[in-house]
Structure 1
Amino acid sequence: MTRSVWLKADDAVGDWEARKRRITAGLEAGVDWVLVDEGDVERVRELGQVNVAAFSNGDVHVMDAENEGSDADAVVVGKGGEGDGTVDLPSDFSGSADLSTLRANGDATQGGYVRILNESYEAFAEAVAEEAEYTIVIGEDWAIIPLENLIARIGEETDLVAGVTTAEEARTAFETLELGADAVLLDTDDPDEIRQTVEVRDEAGRERLALTTAEVTTIEQTGSADRVCIDTANLMDHDEGMLVGSMARGLFFVHAETAESPYVASRPFRVNAGAVHAYVRTPGGETKYLSELQSGDEVQVVDTDGNTREAIVGRVKIEKRPMFRVQAELTRENGETDRIETLLQNAETIKVATNEGRKAVTDLEAGDELLLYYEDTARHFGEAVEESIIEK
């Protein structure tokens, strides 16, 4: 599931200068949506590129080819009506003005805004969800149970957006019932809280990999080859690196160059990843050949516990360098032995993760246990496929 962060910036926040400060902090942090009043849509677009949702007074406006950029990407019904309690909620939801507006504009990208004041409003939110692409629910003295109820009852017909005021509330919303809300609507002026909420969003969508080990059986010099250094636009920590290998089913953990060396300064943005033919794991469980990488691509950074995040490729350096062939074996779940291997540069600055800790590839010996990610599946154009492929 792809999570998103909405930032509330309507007139309840204050005057335009106060709203502008909040929106600017959101843009700098990387929020996905900004929710404003209709009159602020053009102002938001002047500040930067972001999806803009606008509270509607009943007249639905959406972007179209003739009026591009002047109107909202989505309109939200419910402010100043039954949704926020301004108008009493009718006992017969079919007679609701807010629902009537949503139904009358079925072709528009739209959302419904509902404050959960009691159980009747939970039921109202469910009715809104049947009509709206986005269903925004705001808890009064928010508790877990109403959100659990809504996550359990509302299906995939809508994106459920939970109102929050802190990053920790956002984390709870994303984790509730192990499914979580699709998005959060954050209401805060604190730039740090906005940034931390975006970080929570990113964490919620990341893979956690089950890493294993394989025993080194052969380490030998092979001569020179075209070697790839991946220089990212992100700094990596001491326990982070990338998963690379000659065979897609078994990718070796290669550390980022975070360690100081007598010969060269640390390069915490770099992974010396191997030869041009090798694979590197990318976000979403796919792979790319190292030779295909270019500036602006995304690669997956992983730590020794299997936690992952994304990094942007800033530069790819391909140079001829002397190489080692590293071969290792592991036992599959069915008891059979599998052999995997890769080529790594013959240099003491290239480190791999072993059962004894971080180790230079030049110091590797038969019997060392290397950390890797193994999946017994074939790959076709980077995608896992169910077919038999022999790699050797």
Structure 2
Amino acid sequence: MTRSVWLKADDAVGDWETRKRRITAGLESGVDWVLVDEDDVERVRELGAVNVAAFRADDVDVIDEADPNEDAEPDAWVVGKGGEGDGTVDLPTDFSGSADLSALRRGNADAGYVHILGEEYESFAEAAAEDAEYTLVVGKDWTIIPLENLIARIGEETTLVAGVESAEEAETAFETLDIGADAVLLDSDDPDAIRRTVAARDAAEREQLDMSWATVTAVEEAGSADRVCVDTGSLMEDDEGMLVGSMSRGLFFVHAETAESPYVASRPFRVNAGAVHAYVRTPDGGTKYLAELTSGDEVQVVDRDGRTRAAVVGRAKIEKRPMFRVEVETEAGDRIETLLQNAETIKVSTREGRTAVTDLEAGDEVLVYLEEGGRHFGEAIEERIIEQ
């Protein structure tokens, strides 16, 4: 599931300068959407690149044809403000006559905005979700129960956006019922709260991998090969690295070059990942050949506990270097291997901690990630594939 952060910045926030400060903080933090009034769409476009959702200023029957000024057109129209959705207009007992729902059903809006003022508003949100691409729900007194109900009832019909006022509420919304809301709508001027909400989004999207130990059966010189250093556009921590290997069913954890060495300075943006033929795991659960990586691609960074995040490749550096062939045996008796450069700066993770590949010996246990099945163009497939 792809999570997103929406930032509320309509006229309820304050004057334009107040809204502008909030929007600017959101852009700098990496929010995905900004929710404004219709008149502010072009202003937001001038501030930076972000998806813009806009409350309609009036109830029109037909959305105008493409505006010659594309900057004035939002990416999504929202109904519900100043109407039935937020309680400004009494909620009809028969939803079939609802103006807000009619706009969604006629295709005059993409999203419904609903204040959860009582159980009947939960039902109204459910009705809106039938036609809305996005359903924005804001609790009058933020509680988890209405969100649990809505996740259970409409979570698969629409992109459910939960209104929150803090990063802590955002974390809870992303975790509710182990599924979580698809997105949050943050109503806060605090730049730190905005940054931490974006961080909560990133944490909720991260895959958690089950790492395993495998026993080294052979470490032997393998001649020279074209090896790849993957340099990312972000810094890695001491316990982070990448998953690489010659066989898709088993990838080795290789540390980033975060440690100081008497031979070279630390390069915490780099993983010396192995030979060009090897796989590296990507954030979508797929793999790429190291030789395929180019600037702008994404790779998966993982730590010793299996926590993952995405990193952008800044450069893939290929040079001919002497190599080791490292072979290990899993608890199930399967043997997997990879080629790693014969150098003291390349380190894998053993039971004793970070170990240079030059110090690796038969009997050591190293950290690996194991998968069933094979790969076709980087995608996991249920097919008998023999790798040796």
Q: Is TM > 0.5 for Structure 1 vs Structure 2?
A: yes
Q: Does structure 2 retain, via aligned residues, the 8 Å contact 1:328–1:339?
A: yes
The 1:326–1:269 alpha-carbon spacing in structure 2 relative to 1, beyond 3 Å, is: same
Q: Does structure 2 retain, via aligned residues, the 8 Å contact 1:63–1:69?
A: no
Q: Does structure 1 retain, via aligned residues, the 8 Å contact 2:155–2:181?
A: no
Query: How far is the alpha carbon of 1:99 from its aligned partner?
Result: 1.6
Q: Secondary structure at the match of 1:268?
A: coil
* Structure-to-structure mapping, 1:120-199, within 5 angstroms: 120-199=120-199
Alpha-carbon separation, structure 1, partners of 2:171 and 2:259: 33
Alpha-carbon separation, structure 1, partners of 2:65 and 2:157: 22
Q: Aligned partner of 2:194: which letter? A: I
* Structure-to-structure mapping, 1:172-251, within 5 angstroms: 172-251=172-251
Alpha-carbon separation, structure 2, partners of 1:214 and 1:52: 49
Query: How far is the alpha carbon of 1:63 from its aligned partner?
Result: 8.1
Structure 2 unaligned regions, length at least 5? none
Task: Using the aligned pairs only, state the percent identity.
Answer: 76
Q: Secondary structure at the match of 1:319?
A: strand
Q: Select the residue among 68, 72, 80 that pairs with 2:74.
A: 72
Give the structure 2 partner of residue 314 of structure 1. Answer: 314
2:370 matches 1:347: no
Q: Secondary structure at the match of 1:321?
A: strand
Q: Secondary structure at the match of 2:114?
A: strand
Query: How far is the alpha carbon of 1:182 from its aligned partner?
Result: 1.0
Q: Secondary structure at the match of 2:39?
A: helix
The 1:346–1:41 alpha-carbon spacing in structure 2 relative to 1, beyond 3 Å, is: same
Q: Secondary structure at the match of 1:173?
A: helix
Query: How far is the alpha carbon of 1:284 from its aligned partner?
Result: 1.1
The 1:109–1:363 alpha-carbon spacing in structure 2 relative to 1, beyond 3 Å, is: farther
Query: How far is the alpha carbon of 1:152 from its aligned partner?
Result: 1.3
Alpha-carbon separation, structure 2, partners of 1:174 and 1:155: 12
Query: How far is the alpha carbon of 1:179 from its aligned partner?
Result: 1.3
**Greater mean alpha carbon deviation, residues 372-381 or residues 65-74:** 65-74
2:36 matches 1:40: no
Alpha-carbon separation, structure 1, partners of 2:154 and 2:373: 35
Deviations along 1:136-160, one digit per CA (max 9) or x if unpaired, are: 1110111111111111111422111
Q: How many residues align?
A: 386
Q: Aligned partner of 2:59: which letter? A: G
Query: How far is the alpha carbon of 1:185 from its aligned partner?
Result: 0.4
Deviations along 1:222-281, one digit per CA (max 9) or x if unpaired, are: 121111100101000000000000111110000000000111111100000001111100
Alpha-carbon separation, structure 2, partners of 1:50 and 1:63: 22
Give the structure 2 partner of residue 361 of structure 1. Answer: 357
Alpha-carbon separation, structure 2, partners of 1:342 and 1:63: 57
Alpha-carbon separation, structure 1, partners of 2:67 and 2:206: 35
Moved beyond 6 Å, runs of 4+: none
2:274 matches 1:274: yes
The 1:368–1:62 alpha-carbon spacing in structure 2 relative to 1, beyond 3 Å, is: farther
Supply the RMSD in Å over aligned alpha carbons: 1.4
Q: Secondary structure at the match of 2:354?
A: strand
Q: Aligned partner of 1:341: which letter? A: E
Deviations along 1:192-228, one digit per CA (max 9) or x if unpaired, are: 1111111111111111000001110110111211111
Give the structure 2 partner of residue 372 of structure 1. Answer: 368
Q: Normalising by the residue count of structure 2, what TM-score does the alignment of the two structures yield?
A: 0.97
Structure 1 unaligned regions, length at least 5? none
Deviations along 1:280-310, one digit per CA (max 9) or x if unpaired, are: 0011110000000010100000000000000
Query: How far is the alpha carbon of 1:355 from its aligned partner?
Result: 1.2
Q: Secondary structure at the match of 1:41?
A: helix
Deviations along 1:75-129, one digit per CA (max 9) or x if unpaired, are: 110111111111111222222222222223x2x5511111111111111111111
Q: Aligned partner of 2:75: which letter? A: D
Q: Secondary structure at the match of 2:170?
A: helix
2:288 matches 1:297: no
